[in-house]
Amino acid sequence: MKILINISLIILSLMYSSLTISQEQPNPIEALEFLTGHWEGPGVSYLEDGKTQDFHDIENVRFDLDANLLLINAKGLIDGELLYQLHTVIYYDHEAGHYFYTPFRGKKKPVPSKCQLKKQQFKCVNINNDARLTFQRLPDGGWNEYGEKLIDGQWQKYFETKLYPKDMN
Q: Which helix (H) or strand (E) holds 13?
A: helix 2-24
Is residue 4 pLDDT above 80, yes or no? Answer: no
CATH number at residue 148: 2.40.128.20
Which residues lie below 8 Å from residue 90, measured CB to CB, with a gap of 6+? 29, 32, 69, 70, 71, 72, 99, 100, 101, 102, 115
Answer yes or no: is 14 within a domain.
no
Answer yes or no: is 122 within a domain.
yes
At residue 133, the pLDDT reads 97
Give mean pLDDT, residues 35-57.
95
Which residues lie below 8 Å from residue 40, measured CB to CB, with a gap of 6+? 56, 57, 58, 59, 163, 164, 166
Instruction: Give bridge partners of residue 103 from the DSSP assignment.
Output: 88
Host domain of residue 78: 27-165
Span 114-168, pLDDT tens digits: 999 998 899 999 999 999 999 999 999 899 999 999 999 999 999 999 999 987 4
Answer yes or no: is 7 within a domain.
no
Answer yes or no: is 2 within a domain.
no
Answer yes or no: is 134 within a domain.
yes
Question: How many domains does the chain divide into?
Answer: 1
Is residue 10 pLDDT above 60, yes or no? Answer: no
* pTM across the whole model: 0.80
| Strands, E assignment, the chain | 37-46, 52-64, 69-78, 81-93, 98-104, 113-118, 121-126, 131-137, 143-151, 154-165
At residue 166, the pLDDT reads 86
Answer yes or no: is 4 within a domain.
no
Answer yes or no: is 6 within a domain.
no
- As a whole number of angstroms, the distance between CA 162 and CA 140 comes to 11
Span 90-106, pLDDT tens digits: 999 999 999 999 999 98
Is residue 45 pLDDT above 70, yes or no? Answer: yes
Which residues lie below 8 Å from residue 56, measured CB to CB, with a gap of 6+? 40, 41, 42, 43, 76, 77, 78
Span 74-86, pLDDT tens digits: 999 999 999 999 9
Answer yes or no: is 66 within a domain.
yes
